[in-house]
A and B are shown apart, each in its own frame.
Chain A
Amino acid sequence: MLEKVFFSGKTEQKVIENIKRHIKTLGSACEVFKEAVEKQDKELMLSVADLEREGDVIRREIISNIYEGAFLPFLRPSICRFVEIVDEAFDVLEDTAYEFEYLNSKLDKEIEDNCIKIADINLKMCEMLLIAFETLSSKEDLREKNLAIRIYEKKIDEIKFDLIKKLRKKEVKDFWEGKILSDFISYLTHVSDVIEDASDYLYIMNVSLR
């Protein structure tokens, strides 16, 4: 039943492949971001914005394919919403990349390790989101994948509290230095929240298709 409803025709297959491509592109953006922070590479960080634009193109293609008639009408809003949440993750990651640029592509030693760890977990969450989406096509339950994403998110939360503690002790020269650093951490730790939302939405779709 699930296969029939979800993966029947050619247009549906095209949308499915594009959604996978969309999530993979998000994974690539997370990977590039992590590498750019590790290497303090400004040029590499600019690629995050390029990948975000690529993600936008894929999103538009998915949405137009859906409204051209892919999938049963009751499924269309859910699929569109899922794609939009993934797109939101791209936006937040892009914002993080811009803030990193304002920080002169450099982080203090005391917070650098934590930020790289978060970037690494964001990447792993993208990989898990792709696995979860692929699982939707088989008749398997998404529960385990959803739980794994929640575990990752919890880990980021723990690191976030630790980071905030460190930031509170840090002396800043002026308002903007403090604001940029604070925004950078907020955006960086928000990426996982959005990926978790996408996973939750996928799970709801999975349940509604039973």
Chain B
Amino acid sequence: MKIEEIMVKKIESVEADATAYDAIEKMVDKRIRSLLVKPRDEKDVYGVVTVRNIVFKVLGKNLDPNKVRVEEIASKPIVSINRDMEIGHVISLMNKFNIARVFVHEGKEIIGVVALLDVMAASLIERARGGRVA
């Protein structure tokens, strides 16, 4: 199964100069665990801010989330792949880099995201199909 079949096209993002509190608010409202951090300018690259980043780098250190900017705590650069990559490769990649999600790019644009749960669901469906093509 190719990654484009399982990727989530709806990506929530946040500006690099937004505060950690803005990111928290968005994650709580949308019930998601990560946000794509937009590049500041053309020279900059995409990043990702996760619940882990917020908890360990802000709340755990007793910092004020209103005073911390997203770009200070975001992980950069993001790990991104082509839409035609097979699930098996993605699992290896996630394992190698110890990450829970990978982004999907087309040129310079980010067009989707695949999380561990998506990979698990897709693998289970593939297993149930027993090699029968959808």
Contact = CB atoms under 8 A, between A and B. Distances in A.
**B127, B128, B129: which has the most chain A beta carbons within 10 Å?**
B128
16 contacts: A124-B134, A127-B129, A128-B125, A128-B128, A128-B129, A131-B128, A131-B132, A144-B124, A144-B127, A144-B128, A148-B127, A151-B121, A151-B124, A154-B121, A155-B121, A162-B10
Contacts, number: 29
Contact of A127 (B10, B124, B132): B132
Given A127-B132, A131-B132, A151-B124, 4 more contacts: A131-B129, A148-B125, A148-B127, A151-B125
Interface in B106-131: 121, 124-125, 127-130
A50 to B, nearest CB: 25
Given A151-B121, A162-B10, A127 B128 contact: no
Nearest to A113: B9
B128 A147 contact: yes
Interface of A is mostly: helix
B72 to A, nearest CB: 31
Contacts of A144: 124, 127-128
**3 tightest Cβ-Cβ pairs between the two chains A and B:** A148-B128, A144-B128, A151-B121
B115 to A, nearest CB: 12
Nearest to B6: A155
Nearest to B9: A113
Contact of B124 (A131, A148, A155, A162): A148
Contacts of B128: 128, 131, 144-145, 147-148
Contacts of A128: 125, 128-129
Contacts of B127: 144, 148
A7 interface: no
A144 B134 CA distance: 16
Contacts of B129: 127-128, 131, 148
A152 interface: yes
A3 B125 CA distance: 26
Contacts of A145: 128
Contacts of A154: 121
A144 B121 CA distance: 11
A154 B125 CA distance: 13
A128 B128 CA distance: 8
Nearest to B120: A151
Contacts of B10: 162
Nearest to A117: B9
Interface in A138-183: 144-145, 147-148, 151-152, 154-155, 162
Nearest to B128: A148
